[in-house]
Structure 1
Amino acid sequence: MIERQILDHASACYPEESCGFVIATANGQHYMPCVNIADVPTEHFEISPDDWLRAYTAGEIIALVHSHPDGLPVLSATDREIQRRTDLDWWLVCDGSLYQYRNIVPLLGRDFKHGVMDCYTLFRDAYHLAGINMPEFSRSEDWWEAGQDLYIDNMAATGFYQVENPEAGDIILICLGSHKANHAAIYCGDQQVLHHCPNRMSKRDVYNGYWLKYTHSIWRHKAWLSCGFTAIYNDMAASSI
């Protein structure tokens, strides 16, 4: 019901961007359409202070909604920067479909905490922004030393297949101080990777030297879209806005 209302509102606003809120009340969730007051509503959206107040007084805001008429089904760098300010999930309409994006921590500059904010968290969150939802799973400290092979056991099962040469968005598995593939990096193109090493902040690195030497394998998701890395790049670009 809510999804149909959101899609109908976006269609009625075309070619301008639609906007609104998903609100939770004692009677359930409902969609609150808003008027886009941006100066150039075909390229941007802006919600009036009155509509923000109306949403806050109506119940709990579950998500902010807007559309990308004739655009990509991913959040732009500006979208990601403003999403962090609003501290809300953002839902996006594009090409007649609805995409739901959690308000994840920025991909760059994360503090490391194994099992909570680590290389798999970065991998999972980056793929979420690209429209592919990876499962969460429990992982103990130094699982690779306890006879487990979590990455290799799960890559094919979650839609990945192995390739020889990396393209932007591919996952590179690396043997980090182990004979097992225990570290994941996202290939960014131009011999760069995005990854999160233990006891360091998440960052981009040049894919050579140690990382290249101890590469275990390279994986590509069967549902990967050409615009997928645009979503990841937009998040990194948002860190500089």
Structure 2
Amino acid sequence: MMKKEILNHAKQCGEAECCGFVIDNKIYMPCNNISATPTKTFEISPDDWIKAEEKGEITAVVHSHPDGEPILSEADQIYQQFTGLDWWLLCDNQIHKFRYIKPLLGREFQHGKIDCLTIVRDAYMLAGIELPDYERQDDWWHNGQNLYLDLLPQNGFVQVDAQELQEGDIIIICLGSSTPNHAAIYIGNQQILHHCPNRLSKRDMYGGFWMDYTHSIWRHKKWQKFGFMAILNNMAISSI
């Protein structure tokens, strides 16, 4: 029912971006787009925010990209940080749900909660590919487990040759272990995005140590190039 209401609202708005709220995860409240450029951006009035909060808990912000890609723009991701909410995006009659995450750059490390797997999951979520989370104990690579090599094929990844490396590929690295235990995302220009223990998540040059200790490179079967722009959009908000 809620999906139908959102689709109908977008249809009524024509070439303009529709916008609204999900309340209590079950009610859709359509809002007027008061942006000066409604075919390119959206803005919800303070009055509508107040009305929504009076109805219940706002659990998601909804808007559409009538002629755009199914990813959050840089501006979308900036405002999502302000709201601290999930954002739902309607594009090509499909609702794409983007959970709220902290920016990919500058994260504090906490194994099992905010680590190299987390940054891969969050980046791929922005690209439209939701990967499962797994409980993982510290030092699993010293306890006979091989999580990355076990889980990547199960979740739609295929191994590719290093000569075919492209943006969005996952690079698996042996970090202080003979078992591959660290993941990085290739972001072009010989750079990777990753999160090492006891460091903030960051960009690094892909060469030297990281290249020498690379185990393998993996690509998701459903990867699409526009997904990489969503990752770049997120990294851009940390530079503002």
Q: TM-score range by the shorter chain?
A: over 0.9
Structure 2: 5+ residue runs without aligned partners?
none
- Please, which runs of 5 or more residues in structure 1 have no aligned partner? none
Q: How far off is 1:240 after superposition?
A: 2.0
Letter in 2 for 1:199: N
Match of 1:70 in 2: 67
Q: Residue 32 of structure 1 corresponds to which residue in structure 2?
A: 29
Aligned to 1:225: 224
- Aligned match for 1:85, one of 82, 85, 91: 82
Query: Any residues of structure 2 matched to 1:12-161 within 5 Å, and which?
Result: 12-24=12-24, 29-161=26-158
RMSD between aligned residues: 0.8
Q: Does 1:185 align with 2:184?
A: yes
C-alpha deviation, 1:8, in angstroms: 1.3
Question: What displacement does 1:69 show?
Answer: 1.3
How many residues matched?
A: 238
| 8 Å Cα contact 1:171/1:187 also seen in 2 | yes
Query: Counterparts of 2:224 and 2:10 in 1: how far apart (Å)?
Result: 23
Q: Which runs of 4+ in 1 moved over 6 A?
A: none
Q: Provide the rounded CA distance (Å) in 1 between the counterparts of 2:78 and 2:48.
A: 21
Query: Could you say which residue in structure 2 is the equivalent of 1:168?
Result: 167
What SS does the aligned partner of 2:225 have? coil
Cα distance in 1 for partners of 2:173, 2:165 equals 13
Counterpart of 1:3 in structure 2 is: 3
Are the aligned partners of 1:36 and 1:46 in contact in 2 as well (CA < 8 Å)? Answer: yes
Is the partner of 1:228 in helix, strand or coil?
helix
Whichever residue aligns with residue 53 of structure 1, its letter is I
- Asked if 2 retains the 8 angstrom alpha-carbon contact of 1:81 and 1:239, the reply is no
- Report % sequence identity: 59
Cα deviations by residue, 1:32-90 (Å, 9 ceiling, x for unpaired): 00000000100000001110100010111110000011001000111111101111100
What is the CA–CA distance in structure 2 between the aligned matches of 1:144 and 1:151, rounded to whole Å?
Answer: 10
TM-score normalised over the length of structure 1: 0.97
Q: Which amino acid aligns with 2:84?
A: D
Given residue 219 of structure 1, which amino acid in structure 2 is its aligned partner? W
Provide Cα deviations, 1:2-54, integer angstroms capped at 9, x if missing partner: 01111111121120000000112xxx721100000000100000001110100
CA-CA distance at 1:155 after TM superposition: 0.6
